[in-house]
Amino acid sequence: MRRLAVGIGAAALSLLLLALAGAAFGHSPRVLLEILVSGSIGSRFALEGTLLKSVPLLLTGLAVVIAFRAGVWNIGGEGQFIVGALAAYLTSRFGTTAALLAAAVAGALWASIASLLRVWRNAPEVLTTILLNFIAIHLLGYCVNGPLQEASGQYPQSDPVPQAAALPLLGGSSLHAGIVVALLVTLASWWLLYRTREGLRLRATGFNPSAAQYAGVDVNAQIARAMALSGAVAGLAGAIELLGVTHRLFERVAAGYGYAGIAVALLAQLHPIATIAAAAFFGALATGAGELQRSASISSSVATFGQAVVILVLILFGSMRAFAPGRDE
């Protein structure tokens, strides 16, 4: 209950700070908030935009929840998202299911590179996953400027995925079936973490790896599995964004979703179900920020500002300490 209050408080406070920051630049805070609200949930169009943005955030948020629960800082969601999208693109001619599966496998393998480096060289994941992001970003850049560039060779982007592989739209809206997949993954994550022995051991590893070992948990294997799972979910996010929204690969296809997942997971206080609400909040913030840019000429990067403020507010509430990974203690 306290955690719920903290989460809502942090979200509300960050909106308030956002509006006040606007005031510092001569905008009326009330007008800013009104635009944010109407631009994110004020119309059917806005609401659909919010939901579309929430789907990748939900999945990258879950990826972070799974890893952090096991006590490992997976900052590599962005890279895992990108290799997922790449794998989905390459396998899209075999159909949607194949593409989604390939993306999950690719994300898992990409994340597992960090696990291997940990086991072989004791390299901390917090560093290796970030570095793997840069490799993935440049790999994607090379692909859309080279082997995967569209046939016309005009822009640094790929041709669209085959129509048959695209995610079906839901009842005449712009919403795609990925939202259902994301919700199913959410439920599955909750079930895994709180209703299976695997999840119990994963959480024990995150809280107190030393005690987990003495209870017979192979901590290194546990962490490796959590990383792979985390990478798979982030990779899936990439595939869903490709097959549901962008249909093409281009350099900015990940659009920071991987990093934003960290803010989502922290706002959800690492609870899988709460991640739905946190993802919707950041989805709304991003969509509303787009409207701010259009109607008030404020850069839409205020959404990123909002993410940062949420994390800072959570630190202020001191709720980060409870779940900060303590493996290197």
Binding-site string for another protein from residue 217 to residue 246, where x marks contact by CB under 8 A and - marks none: xx----------------------------
Q: Which position among 23, 164, 184, 215 is part of the footprint of another protein (CB under 8 A)?
A: 215
Count of Cβ atoms closer than 10 Å to residue 84 Cβ: 36
Least distance to another protein, CB of residue 7, Å = 18
Count of Cβ atoms closer than 10 Å to residue 23 Cβ: 13
Measured from the CB atom, the residue of 208 and 293 that comes closer to another protein is 208
Determine the size of the site formed for another protein (CB under 8 A).
Answer: 20
Measured from the CB atom, the residue of 144 and 204 that comes closer to another protein is 204
Rg (CA), the chain: 20
| Residue 111 makes contact with another protein by CB under 8 A | no
Measured from the CB atom, the residue of 71 and 84 that comes closer to another protein is 71
Least distance to another protein, CB of residue 205, Å = 9
| Residue 316 makes contact with another protein by CB under 8 A | no
Residues pairing with 157 in the sheet: 250
Residue with tokens 């994607």: 140
Measured from the CB atom, the residue of 120 and 214 that comes closer to another protein is 214
Measured from the CB atom, the residue of 206 and 288 that comes closer to another protein is 206
Instruction: Assess contact for 236 and 183: CB atoms under 8 A.
Output: no
66 CB-near residues (< 8 Å, 6+ apart): 189, 193, 202, 226, 229, 230, 233
| Residue 318 makes contact with another protein by CB under 8 A | no
| Residue 324 makes contact with another protein by CB under 8 A | no
In angstroms, rounded to a whole number, what is the distance separating the alpha carbons of residues 262 and 266? Answer: 6
| Residue 211 makes contact with another protein by CB under 8 A | yes
Measured from the CB atom, the residue of 52 and 224 that comes closer to another protein is 224
Instruction: Assess contact for 243 and 167: CB atoms under 8 A.
Output: yes
| Residue 216 makes contact with another protein by CB under 8 A | yes
Q: How many CA atoms does the CB half-sphere of 15 hold within 13 Å? A: 19
Region of 27 (left: φ > 0; alpha: ψ -120 to 50; beta: rest) is: beta
Binding-site string for another protein from residue 174 to residue 203, where x marks contact by CB under 8 A and - marks none: ---------------------xxx--xx-x
Instruction: Assess contact for 269 and 323: CB atoms under 8 A.
Output: yes
In angstroms, rounded to a whole number, what is the distance separating the alpha carbons of residues 68 and 251? Answer: 28
Give the CA angle between residues 90, 258, 145 to the nearest 5°.
Answer: 40
| Residue 144 makes contact with another protein by CB under 8 A | no
Least distance to another protein, CB of residue 210, Å = 5
Count of Cβ atoms closer than 10 Å to residue 250 Cβ: 16
| Residue 320 makes contact with another protein by CB under 8 A | no
Least distance to another protein, CB of residue 64, Å = 19
Measured from the CB atom, the residue of 124 and 290 that comes closer to another protein is 124
Residue 25, helix vs strand vs coil: coil
Residues of this chain that bind another protein (CB under 8 A): 195-197, 200-201, 203-204, 207-208, 210-218, 322, 329
